[in-house]
Structure 1
């Protein structure tokens, strides 16, 4: 039940991130990538402060012993997570300026390949079923996102670097979540990321007041939903979960992004090719769950 709950939280995260593509696309019409990233991460941090205070008061009222806070791990973890978060989000924002959205979604979700590759160097073990699930999911992602154009442009390279950054972000979370509280770690990473984003925005220029006002709805959604809620759910849900399996579930954000694009941006309904690709991706996730259940029964 614990694993199923974690999988469900990761799927909710992917769903929120998918809807966040709509906010990102709209927000990029008004302000620069660094400005958008700075404000969304700052909003995410500010949103979590009352949440942390509420949890603290709730635990005190019901005499629930909170998890021991390791300040050293919290500080280092916040810096590491915040660095890879601001790096990945900025690269993605800049890539989306020129890259096709569908192709950018495909390349971004390739972090599910980089997670196991980088994980091997960190001593993570991979079963044949997980490797098969990654391959099936990648094939499904290709059918879902790539239509006719398979050329590689500058924006695509930035998004590819973004995928590597997100893979590092997932692996860093997988390490530090075993030592600190997930919600506090999430808040810490947002403050670190917003600080770095502020520096980059100061170097590249502030957005105008009229443009910022027009961007407020997109910033509120990306800051509160995609960052404050979704990234926190990701951190909490990754506790005790294989990071490769987590990356497979999170990669479903591309499918959910297409669904929300149809609902809110009047984009075309998914073709048979796209539905086939989405089915392969969901099948890959189911395959990892079957593997875990069988292993548990065999023990």
Structure 2
């Protein structure tokens, strides 16, 4: 019972993550009207890291009071693991988010959403090389989800690859690496601390590229303050932290399916909040996506029979 409740709790956290990311796509697109991709990512990730600092300080002080005096050697080992995980996550996030921000400029929003979400296929495929077992129902759910994403995002029914599409496809591979790195490190360290380190790592790398390749204008940053604030606090600070906490104990293939619902939430948000029309094709895509998530959440019947 504890295992089942844990699974549903983690799934709920990832669904919340998908909802936050789905509504943040507009902020990313709007921010690019004022600043370059490196500037945007440097600012949003710096803000995400600063948002988490008070929580890191608070929980660290609480933990120090409860640690036994002889826990110093174990703590040093854990700190090394924490920094390794945070820096690797930050590098993967930098590569993926940069490719996404640049790719968005050269392709349609729908196509970018579809190609980015192809990590739901790449995660279980790459997981096979890491000896991550994937159940048959998960593979079926992945196929259903890809079909749903196509109906949802590719509203014109055509698919031809352009320059931006290859960048977004590389971005999907970057997010695949990010998910697998989190899967490895999240059971070993504090999720909030690792998330904070990844944001500062990504911000530093973005800032270096910003100085090298972009012209920084303070007035442009002021014009982009609202999308940067939203993307930094909610999409980065809250969303990516919930991803790290929510992935703990879940199969990465299942986690990627849950997070791919960001495309569904973005369409539903436009329908509910902005009164945008939802076509039968898009509605069918939403239904298929939700069906894939329900399928992957169903218990394994052979295990249920064994327990009963």
Task: Kindly indicate whether the alpha-carbon contact (under 8 Å) linking 1:22 and 1:260 is maintained by their aligned counterparts in 2.
Answer: no
TM-score by length of 2: 0.91
> Where in structure 1 do 4 or more consecutive aligned residues deviate above 3 Å?
56-61, 63-69, 261-264, 291-299
Instruction: State how far apart, in whole Å, the 1-side matches of 2:110 and 2:240 are.
Output: 22
Q: Shift in Å at residue 207 of structure 1?
A: 2.6
Partner of 2:228: 219
1:43 corresponds to 2:43 = no
Instruction: State how far apart, in whole Å, the 1-side matches of 2:95 and 2:257 are.
Output: 21
Q: Which moved more, 1:68-77 or 1:8-17?
A: 68-77
Correspondence 1:45-124 to 2 at 5 A: 45-57=49-61, 70-124=78-132
Partner of 1:230: 239
**Structure 2 unpaired stretches of 5+:** none
Partner of 2:172: 163
Task: Kindly indicate whether the alpha-carbon contact (under 8 Å) linking 1:41 and 1:193 is maintained by their aligned counterparts in 2.
Answer: yes
Instruction: State how far apart, in whole Å, the 1-side matches of 2:108 and 2:275 are.
Output: 14
**Structure 1 unpaired stretches of 5+:** none
Question: How many residues get paired?
Answer: 297
Q: Shift in Å at residue 260 of structure 1?
A: 2.7
Partner of 1:16: 20
1:3 corresponds to 2:12 = no
Q: Shift in Å at residue 204 of structure 1?
A: 1.0
Instruction: State how far apart, in whole Å, the 2-side matches of 1:281 and 1:224 are.
Output: 27
Partner of 2:147: 139
Task: Kindly indicate whether the alpha-carbon contact (under 8 Å) linking 1:9 and 1:234 is maintained by their aligned counterparts in 2.
Answer: yes
Task: Kindly indicate whether the alpha-carbon contact (under 8 Å) linking 1:68 and 1:180 is maintained by their aligned counterparts in 2.
Answer: no
Instruction: State how far apart, in whole Å, the 2-side matches of 1:35 and 1:250 are.
Output: 26
Determine which structure has more spread, i.e. the larger CA radius of gyration. Answer: 2
Q: Shift in Å at residue 250 of structure 1?
A: 0.1
Instruction: State how far apart, in whole Å, the 2-side matches of 1:23 and 1:50 are.
Output: 25
Q: Shift in Å at residue 259 of structure 1?
A: 2.4
TM-score by length of 1: 0.94
- What is the CA RMSD across the aligned residues, in angstroms? 2.0
Q: Shift in Å at residue 54 of structure 1?
A: 2.7
Partner of 2:252: 243
